[in-house]
Amino acid sequence: MAEKDDIVVEAVNLNKEYYLGEITVPALREINMKVKKGEFIVIMGPSGSGKSTLLNIIGGLDNPTSGKVYINGQDISEMSDGTLTELRAQEIGFIFQFYNLVPVLSAFENVELPMMVNGISEKQGKKRAKELLEMVGLADRMHHRPDELSGGQRQRVSIARALANKPSIVVADEPTGDVDTRTGDEILELMHDLNKNMGVTFIVITHDPNIAEHCDRLIRIVDGQIASDKPTVHEILSITNEELRAYKGFTGYISDSR
Ligand code: ADP
Ligand code: MG
């Protein structure tokens, strides 16, 4: 059915508990969400509310305590480690707050790497790495190593890397948390353009209230639960910094990197 094919990610009754000695920490409680192909979803919520946990589970990096995640209709809990690793490599691009680039490799090599791992021919990989780096505005920085690039440039490299294997979904955990506001806006704009031009689905965790212009749908997480899930582009404009700070445990725009 066309409708069903349009769902790239579905989370059903997700629960996640962490166990610290005698104490059980509930990180996610009964999360249900469906992500449609081509959506640009923003996830907001106080520090410690479960945003990273949710993204990691959706991206197949972590397991829920109970509940299911379907990627392109496939139940990932039923997959072998090998199959899941393959699916992750092919279908999911990851962008992290602190980039997670390989420090000894150039920007170009960092983008090439996931394609090499995925068995793309060297020639094709090089061609695509070049195209992607041009697309993110780094044509003149391809052969620099991460420590020779600014934070914003590093994040552009990691965006190019996330797109290397033509994933159906890109997940980004506070991608602008380590850069200044202006650079952050540029990064979000770039992701928005890529979303519109390439049709790649994005799920982005951010504390940036300016992201309104860039998102189709805003999901707010509070205490491990979905507090609201709204499709309106402008809804977020009603959130002021004061309201954000009033969230329990919110510690500022630059948050933890868990
Ligand atoms: P957010 O990304 O919204 O800041 P997290 O998903 O990182 O929140 O964390 C949600 C909750 O789970 C928090 O209470 C956090 O302390 C807890 N938590 C996260 N990771 C772990 C872990 N590896 N072990 C124990 N508790 C964890
Ligand atoms: Mg987090």
The answer to whether the CB of 27 is under 6 A from ligand 1 is yes
122-135 vs 151-163: helix crossing angle, rounded to 10: 130
Atom of ligand 1 nearest to the CA of 56: 6
Task: Please give the distance, rounded to the nearest whole angstrom, from the Cα atom of residue 219 to the centre of ligand 2.
Answer: 15
Query: Model-level pTM?
Result: 0.87
The per-residue DSSP string of 32-71 comes to EEEEETT-EEEEE--TTSSHHHHHHHHTTSS--SEEEEEE
Residue 12 within a domain: no
181-198 vs 151-163: helix crossing angle, rounded to 10: 20
Which stretches does DSSP call E strand in the chain? 7-20, 23-36, 40-44, 66-71, 74-75, 92-96, 169-173, 201-205, 217-222, 225-230
The answer to whether the CB of 47 is under 6 A from ligand 1 is yes
Residue 9 within a domain: no
Task: Please give the distance, rounded to the nearest whole angstrom, from the Cα atom of residue 251 to the centre of ligand 1.
Answer: 15
* Euclidean distance between CA atoms 177 and 114, whole angstroms: 24
Q: Give the closest ligand to the alpha carbon of residue 50.
A: 1
Which stretches does DSSP call E strand in 72-124? 74-75, 92-96
Residues, the chain, total?
A: 258
Total structural domains in the chain? 1
* Confidence band for 4, pLDDT divided at 50, 70 and 90: low
* Confidence band for 204, pLDDT divided at 50, 70 and 90: very high
Higher pLDDT, 190 or 254: 190
Task: Please give the distance, rounded to the nearest whole angstrom, from the Cα atom of residue 53 to the centre of ligand 2.
Answer: 7
pLDDT for 231: 72
Tell me the per-residue pLDDT of 50-78, one tens digit each, with 9 for 90 and over. 999 999 999 999 999 999 999 999 999 89
pLDDT for 87: 94
Q: What is the CATH number of the domain that holds 137?
A: 3.40.50.300
Is residue 115 scored above 50 in pLDDT?
yes
Residue 65 and residue 235 in contact, taking contact as beta carbons nearer than 8 Å? no
Residue 133 within a domain: yes
Secondary structure class of 165 (helix, strand, coil): coil
Tell me the per-residue pLDDT of 78-102, one tens digit each, with 9 for 90 and over. 999 999 999 999 999 999 999 999 9
Range of the domain at 52: 39-63+80-246
Nearest CA to ligand 1 atom 6: 50
* Confidence band for 242, pLDDT divided at 50, 70 and 90: low
* Confidence band for 257, pLDDT divided at 50, 70 and 90: very low
Residue 98 within a domain: yes
